[in-house]
Chain A
Amino acid sequence: MITSIYRYSHLVLAAISSLFLVVAAITGLVLSTEPIFYDLKQPDKIDLSEISLGQTIHKLQQEYDELITLSTTSQGLVLADVVTKEGTSVTGYINPKTGMFLGDEITRPSIYNWFTNLHRSLFLKSIGRGFIGVSTFLLVLIIVSGIFLLAQRQGGFSKWFSSIKDKEFHKKYHVILSRWLLIPILIIAITGVYLSLEQFDLIPVENQSLDWSLSPDEELPLQTIENQDFFKTTTLDQVKEVNFPFSSDPIDYYEIYLKEKSVLVAQHTGEVIDQVENPFTALVSYYSTIFHTGSASPLWSVILGISCIGILYFIISGCVIYWKRRPKKNYKLELSSAQDSEYIVLVGSESGSTYAFAKAFTQQLLRTGKKVSLSDLNHYQQYERALHLIIFTATYGDGDAPTNARKFFDRLEKIDQPRSLFVSVVGFGSSIYPKYNEFGKQVYHRLVKDENMKPYLPFTEVDEEHQPEETCKQWLQLWQQKSGFPMELKVDQFPKSNIEKQKFKVTHRSPLNKDETFIISLQPTSYNDYQSGDLLEVYASEKAKARQYSIARIQNKIVLSVRKHEHGLCSTYLANCHKNDDIMATIKTNTSFHFPKDAPKIIMVANGTGIAPFLGMLDENKTNIPIDLYWGGKNIESLSIYGEYLEDAHKKQQVSNYHISYSRENEVVEYVQHKVAEHKEEITTDLQQGAVIMICGSLSMQNEVLDLLELWNKENPKIQLEQLYKNQKILTDCY
């Protein structure tokens, strides 16, 4: 519920402000090039903290006829408005050490003026500024709601940087980029809001102005400027602006704006006549401008530019995500009341797909002219004329009822049906969750316990991870056969599989060796994020059941090691593949068997083709974690097809030790578990020191290795096998 508040506000705020934000981001992107533009065109910088104001003014007095103003730019240059000895008035950069004129002030290209106008007021003056200001404030709220949304989907702030499981490209990068760009965008938004508030006079300013009516102390000795204390001690980096005295009259003072204060200084004595500390708001305003415009640092302006691109991407990807999640469109059904209906369709669902299927089913029933009612499971009641009860329900969380089905069991207990009913139940769920379809199962069993209720079709489980369309079609066929009603559902009315089959191109297949084993390399044809240890589910044909193979990711290709079984449909199919053939498959993330890159040491145990994921993990071992590899095969030739990968890993020191055993090579039959047993001392010490043991291959081998560990644990309780399982120090992937 809380998630949905964050999600809802995140979406609504973004929808309201997106138009303005698109404009602000595009114009902001253009404007972010301005500091770089200046950086390229301006003269070289001189360190201003080493030069005193007196020194510079003294030089200027020598070089020019008349001094009007002097200021430092946020890029750290000195700009002066002076009248030259020839009597012309110029504004430009000067060398603060020599007073030399370096070049005219770079006038702001009018294109930047145009974009600034669009950026802050959309050419609508004050109204436009209001729109932009409000949108910027909304952006702050979007970021805040996004922070909570992200924390929640990651499972708390502590898991902020844990990996993102989403397979959908836009969803994934919306999250990944937001983790990085959050901070600069938040800075842009907050400073933008501040500048807007300032614009509309909503920041209280206590404007203390300098008092020009004060008279100078006439007793003080006259001094030239480079000897006056104030000008000697004030360095140029503190100076924002200097207005020179209007005339040589002693009551015409230097008006000097420093970063911290404003000062009036008498021109002949250097006496400080009046000074006013800058209010805190002035400081905030100063830094807001610098951070919002990037004028002080071309590097920051690059970050600002990237953030603008980021905002645009967030808007686009946000639209895509919303589009995919949006509720499917409704069509009208001519439903009858629950009292009149012969067919009662009840739905328990948290998401759209269950409802969509229930509706499509209802629609088909209506076409046969039957009276049908459709409602939530919560609205279960007495049905006067009902013959059939058809229930479609999802399961929520840990085997609980979905929100609109919570009251069902209560009502079921209280309500007696006047007539006996035929009951059919279909459960919808995803096998990612251990208790998927648990609620559907309970509904079915509770119903059929009642003598009044007769099962019509057996309870059917739809698994979104595994051919949900097929299961639904089969169920509909059963219904059709038994009832005699034609059921013609459109393709898009079936629940979609979470997994979409993708094309993979075969880039290489090795010939089969004596064990009928081969290596096949594949290249995904669309975006995919996967690592060694994940599973590739291969479909030998459109209808065939998927077969799983452990993936090795080597140089951005999927490498599988496959043994051809005589009657194995899929392995034979793969064995007959050639280079450039396309195969259909999906990648299934298998987080419990990923490379443990934080482990101090890894022990890998495999037999036969089980070595495949380890080949990829060796390639992934960029930090050269010590790895001991135990492998068992039939004979030397069995090993040779992996030779090139192992040699490569050996060369790069990605593997420390090999322990190879052969079952058919020598007189003695030796399996990998025998080799493991031989290294008892070493392995137990390693495990106590935090090493991770990974096992891949046949189930019988896995069991024998685990038996060994158990045995050793009995002898030596220090191993703490329970602890090892719990801390995921023992990882297995066997079949």
Chain B
Amino acid sequence: MRILYMALVALICLSFTASTVSKTSVKCMIQMKNYTGEGAYIVVSVTDKEGEYKETIYVHGKDPEWYSEIDSWWKFYGKHRPDIDAISGETIAGGERSISVLEIPTQYINSNHKLRFETAVEDQDYNEVDLELDLTDSNLKSKVDGTGWIRYVRLMPQK
């Protein structure tokens, strides 16, 4: 009886985690401004309306040596350092554009959360909020201009 009960709890837990994992794929293109120097580190995160980090969505730049330079995010990520291998790519250099697929947990969409693009270039400026947008359906098929290293970001939900 007890075993059955535990199995039931486990099943419920499992279904619960599965439901939280439900994600929306959004195609994302980042177009950089023209600048010289190293490729930019760009972190895409979900924050709540107070600006508290909820989840890391994508990291451009694979060299952990420099992560501490991405100041605000490092305070969030540096504490636990979850494995971000699957959601990291190359840095993006000045003038370049890069397309990637963002997997955003569906629960954050249309629920007062924001998508933040945070940028840093080795030995140059750091932008805590290079670009930010409300996570709404309409925003997920738009083009938004950046304020730092990013010229603009284009988003398009996957079919």
Contacts and interface: CB of A to CB of B under 8 A. Distances in A.
Interface in B24-78: 25, 27, 29, 34, 36-38, 62-66
Contacts of B7: none
Nearest to B123: A126
A461 to B, nearest CB: 66
Given A68-B100, A89-B101, A246 B27 contact: yes
Nearest to A255: B97
23 contacts: A65-B158, A66-B158, A68-B100, A81-B101, A83-B25, A87-B25, A89-B25, A107-B85, A113-B62, A113-B63, A117-B65, A121-B65, A123-B65, A207-B34, A207-B36, A207-B94, A207-B95, A209-B34, A243-B98, A243-B99, A246-B99, A246-B156, A247-B156
Contacts of A66: 27, 101, 158
B36 A244 contact: no
Interface in A185-208: 199, 201, 205, 207
Given A125-B65, A126-B122, A207-B36, 18 more contacts: A66-B101, A68-B27, A68-B100, A81-B101, A83-B25, A87-B25, A89-B25, A107-B85, A113-B62, A113-B63, A117-B63, A125-B122, A125-B123, A205-B36, A207-B94, A243-B97, A244-B99, A247-B156
A68 B101 contact: yes
Contact of A65 (B65, B66, B159): B159
Which of A68, A117, A244 gathers the greatest number of chain B CB atoms within 10 Å?
A68
User: For the complex, would chain A's binding face be called helix, strand, loop or mixed by DSSP majority?
Assistant: mixed
Given A205-B36, A246-B156, A89 B103 contact: yes
Contacts of B159: 65
A227 interface: no
Contacts of A228: none
Contacts of B101: 66, 68, 81, 83, 89
Which of B29, B38, B101 gathers the greatest number of chain A CB atoms within 10 Å?
B101
Interface string A49-68: 00000000000000001101
B99 A69 contact: yes
A201 B37 contact: yes
A692 to B, nearest CB: 65
Contacts of B97: 243, 255
Nearest to B36: A201
Nearest to A68: B99
Which of A83, A89, A117, A207 gathers the greatest number of chain B CB atoms within 10 Å?
A89
Interface in A516-542: none
Contacts of A126: 122-123
Pairs A-B, 6 closest by C-beta atoms = A89-B101, A209-B95, A246-B29, A68-B99, A117-B65, A126-B123
Contacts of A244: 99
Interface in B124-159: 154, 156, 158-159
A412 B94 CA distance: 77
A69 B95 CA distance: 17
Contacts of B38: 199
A207 B33 CA distance: 13
Interface residues of A, number: 25
A65 B159 CA distance: 9
Contacts of B122: 125-126
Interface in A13-71: 65-66, 68-69
Nearest to B98: A243
A630 to B, nearest CB: 76
A8 B38 CA distance: 38
Contacts of B29: 246
Nearest to B37: A201
B142 to A, nearest CB: 12
A199 B64 CA distance: 18
A211 to B, nearest CB: 11
A246 B158 contact: no
B71 to A, nearest CB: 15
Contacts of B94: 207
B56 to A, nearest CB: 16
B15 to A, nearest CB: 20
B158 A83 contact: yes
Which of B27, B85, B95, B99 gathers the greatest number of chain A CB atoms within 10 Å?
B99
A66 to B, nearest CB: 6
Interface in A65-112: 65-66, 68-69, 81, 83, 87, 89, 107
B117 to A, nearest CB: 17
Contacts of B85: 107
Contacts of A121: 65
A81 B88 CA distance: 13
Contacts of B62: 113
Interface string A120-137: 010101100000000000
B69 to A, nearest CB: 9
A117 B65 CA distance: 8
Contacts of B37: 201
Which of B27, B36, B156 gathers the greatest number of chain A CB atoms within 10 Å?
B27
Interface in B90-119: 94-95, 97-101, 103
B53 to A, nearest CB: 23
Contacts of A209: 34, 95
Nearest to A89: B101
Contacts of A243: 97-99
A163 B126 CA distance: 60
Contacts of A69: 99
A243 B158 CA distance: 17
A354 B93 CA distance: 65
Contacts of B63: 113, 117
B154 A246 contact: yes
A92 to B, nearest CB: 12
Contacts of A255: 97
A244 B156 CA distance: 14
Nearest to A67: B99
Contacts of A107: 85
A68 B97 CA distance: 12
Contacts of A113: 62-64
Nearest to B69: A125
A499 to B, nearest CB: 56
Nearest to A121: B65
Interface string A706-723: 000000000000000000
A377 B158 CA distance: 93
Interface in A235-273: 243-244, 246-247, 255
B154 to A, nearest CB: 6
A225 to B, nearest CB: 18
Contacts of A247: 156
A205 B93 CA distance: 13
Contacts of A201: 36-37
Contacts of B36: 201, 205, 207
A247 B158 CA distance: 11
B83 to A, nearest CB: 11
Contacts of B66: 125
Interface in A348-389: none
Interface in A678-721: none
A107 B63 CA distance: 13
Contacts of B95: 207, 209
A254 B37 CA distance: 25
A209 to B, nearest CB: 5
A246 B156 CA distance: 9
Contacts of A246: 27, 29, 99, 154, 156
Interface string A603-619: 00000000000000000
A201 B100 CA distance: 28
B31 to A, nearest CB: 8
A582 B97 CA distance: 77
A113 B65 CA distance: 10
B65 A87 contact: no
Contacts of B103: 89
A87 B27 contact: no
A166 to B, nearest CB: 45
